[in-house]
């Protein structure tokens, strides 16, 4: 209790300062009655205030409170919608731009996303599926290995085509600017979701799209790209890939020297390192080396379905907050070929991948990276972007709570992005200069 008299005015006029009244035994019976009446009045006032606040909370903030204390609807479908209304999906990998390239020759005037659109994505279905954001994958095919040459030097169109993909994504975000919000930081994503918009980010799906140049990496960042997948299905100058159907023969044995320099620069500028499509050696080396958290933008669990594109348990164990671990989020891919044996891919099978990654790496390290519009087939029950609630309902049925589900749908990715943003800010504050590393096979520099 302060000794300087500051407490007195707070008690108000006519209310004895009990902290200072001293010897209470000497008060008269009248004094005592007055004192007790005063105390009673204060207590009732306080209780009334508490009651009114509680009542108001129940009436007006019931939504928020139930989310926190976990009194969700019993019906899993209703619970899923409830959770997604508060924590919408941020999908790590959607291939809409390559569909616009292949089906519409990059002519966005011919694209109407307000009506049912070819493929798995359009605005009505994004809304129905409670999508709050996604990475628009800006993808170009791996170059033909023969004409590219073994030094990866001849695929001159990869950067051009990537720029065209970026252009398509940006034009569509602009065309539907009521729906889509161009977002560059984790805080932008939260703000966009708060406004009811769909946060839109870019992801480059393969180191081959960098034209062997770290300068191109920086330029992509400036154009809004926030992750680069180190490889697609082909090896490139930076790293080895896992191929698609079978493991190709390693070329570098994981990351090349240039690949390590690329990760340094990605960490420095705040570009997320994406390890989907990489070989196991690339992934292990990259997660151990990266100063920033990493992602798998669209990969499932190999222990559940054994294909090279899925993440094995020994790599899942490198993920976490413990010693020798790195924070990461593995965003589960829905492609039936990666999910289950032919004919067996459905909502439950996808949920098995989520559950397994949660079991080995932890619930804070799993997310969703559907690969919609980049996959021909789809799981039964997860046919397009309107179906995410079915997966959330299935996991709710399996005992996932609102908090963990909010991490799965987007919270875990946001945490990883914030981590990468922090590392970049630290490295820039430390004055680390932009990398000038040159690919040693180039002869023009
Ligand atoms: C692009 O699509 C619009 C709408 O379908 C069409 O009118 C226009 O001719 C197309 N442009 C080109 C260059 O194909
Ligand atoms: C790559 O380009 C160089 C220079 O134009 C050429 O000499 C070489 O033959 C090309 N390599 C392949 C595999 O086409
Ligand atoms: Zn892919």
**Residue 277 a catalytic site member:** yes
Q: How many other CB atoms sit within 10 Å of the CB of residue 354?
A: 27
Mean pLDDT over 330-344 rounds to 98
Ligand nearest to the CA of 155: 2
Give residue 40's pLDDT band: very low, low, confident or very high (50, 70, 90): confident
Task: Tell me how far the alpha carbon of residue 364 lies from the centroid of ligand 3, in angstroms.
Answer: 23
- To test the pocket of ligand 2, the residue of 146, 148, 149 to mutate (highest count of ligand atoms within 8 Å of its CB) is 149
Q: How far apart are CA 217 and CA 424, in angstroms?
A: 15
Ligand nearest to the CA of 152: 2
Tokens of 270: 């705040």
Q: Which stretch of DSSP H or E encloses residue 286?
A: helix 280-289
Task: Tell me how far the alpha carbon of residue 373 lies from the centroid of ligand 1, in angstroms.
Answer: 22
| Residues near 188 by beta carbon (within 8 Å), at least 6 away in sequence | 181, 199
Q: How far apart are CA 189 and CA 414, in angstroms?
A: 8
List C-alpha distances in Å: 6 to 9, 46, 108, 118, 373: 7, 21, 69, 71, 67
Q: What is the DSSP string of 234-265?
A: S--SSB-B--SSSPPPPSSSSB-HHHHHHHHH
Q: How far apart are CA 408 and CA 354, in angstroms?
A: 9
Residue 2, pLDDT above cutoff 50: no
Model-level pTM? 0.85
Choice among 28-32, 72-76, 78-82, 169-173 with the minimum mean pLDDT: 28-32
CATH code of the domain made up of 79-429: 3.20.20.140
Choice among 41-55, 103-117, 322-336 with the minimum mean pLDDT: 41-55
Q: Which residues line ligand 1 (CB under 6 A)?
A: 107, 109-110
**Residue 365 a catalytic site member:** no
**Residue 93 a catalytic site member:** yes
Q: Which of 161, 371, 373, 394 is catalytic?
A: 371
**Residue 298 a catalytic site member:** yes
Residue 282, pLDDT above cutoff 80: yes
Task: Tell me how far the alpha carbon of residue 151 lies from the centroid of ligand 1, in angstroms.
Answer: 39
Residue 15, pLDDT above cutoff 50: no
pLDDT at residue 156 in the model: 87
| Residues near 426 by beta carbon (within 8 Å), at least 6 away in sequence | none
- To test the pocket of ligand 1, the residue of 101, 104, 105, 107 to mutate (highest count of ligand atoms within 8 Å of its CB) is 107
Task: Tell me how far the alpha carbon of residue 277 lies from the centroid of ligand 3, in angstroms.
Answer: 7
pLDDT at residue 65 in the model: 46
Q: How far apart are CA 236 and CA 210, in angstroms?
A: 10
Task: Tell me how far the alpha carbon of residue 211 lies from the centroid of ligand 2, in angstroms.
Answer: 15
Q: Give residue-wise pLDDT tens across range 44-82.
A: 666 655 555 554 444 445 444 444 445 789 999 999 999
């Amino acid at each position: 209790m302060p000794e300087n008299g500051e407490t007195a005015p707070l008690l108000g006029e006519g209310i004895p300062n009990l902290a200072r009244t001293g010897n209470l035994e000497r008060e008269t019976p009248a004094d005592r009655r007055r004192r007790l009446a005063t105390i009673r009045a204060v207590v009732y006032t306080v209780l009334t205030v508490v009651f009114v606040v509680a009542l108001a909370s129940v009436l007006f903030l019931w939504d928020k409170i139930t989310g926190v204390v976990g009194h969700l609807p019993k019906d899993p479908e209703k619970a899923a919608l409830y959770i997604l209304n508060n924590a919408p999906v941020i999908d790590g990998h959607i291939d809409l731009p390559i569909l616009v390239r292949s089906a519409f020759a990059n002519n966005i005037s011919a694209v109407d996303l307000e009506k049912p659109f070819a493929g798995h994505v359009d605005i009505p279905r994004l809304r129905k599926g409670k999508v709050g954001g996604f990475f628009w994958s800006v993808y170009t095919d791996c170059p033909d290995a023969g004409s590219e040459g073994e030094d990866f030097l001849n695929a001159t169109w990869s950067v051009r085509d990537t720029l065209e993909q970026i252009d398509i994504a940006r034009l569509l975000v602009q065309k539907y600017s009521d729906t889509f919000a161009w977002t560059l930081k984790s805080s932008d994503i939260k703000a966009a979701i708060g406004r009811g918009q769909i946060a839109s980010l870019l992801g480059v799906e393969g180191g081959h799209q960098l034209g062997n140049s770290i300068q191109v990496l920086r330029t992509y960042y400036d154009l809004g790209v926030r992750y680069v997948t180190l490889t697609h299905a082909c090896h490139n100058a930076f790293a080895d890939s896992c191929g698609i159907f079978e493991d190709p023969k390693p070329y570098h044995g994981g990351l090349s020297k240039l690949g390590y320099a690329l990760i340094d620069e990605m960490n420095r500028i705040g570009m997320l390192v994406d390890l989907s499509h990489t070989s196991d050696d690339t992934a292990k080396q990259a997660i151990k080396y990266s100063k920033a958290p990493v992602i798998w933008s669209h990969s499932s669990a190999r222990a559940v379905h054994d294909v090279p594109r899925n993440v094995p348990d020994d790599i899942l164990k490198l993920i976490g907050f413990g010693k020798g671990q790195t924070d990461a989020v593995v965003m589960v891919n829905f492609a039936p070929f990666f999910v289950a044996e032919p004919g067996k891919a459905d909502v439950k099978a996808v949920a098995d991948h989520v559950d397994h990654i949660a079991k080995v790496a932890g619930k804070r390290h799993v997310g969703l990276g559907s690969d919609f519009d980049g996959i021909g087939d789809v799981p039964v029950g997860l046919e397009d972007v309107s179906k995410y609630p079915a997966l959330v309902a299935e996991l709710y049925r399996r005992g996932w709570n609102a908090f963990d589900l909010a991490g799965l749908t987007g919270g875990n990715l946001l945490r990883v992005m914030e981590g990468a943003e922090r590392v970049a800010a630290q490295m820039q504050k430390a004055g680390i200069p932009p990398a000038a590393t040159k690919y040693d096979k180039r002869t023009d520099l």
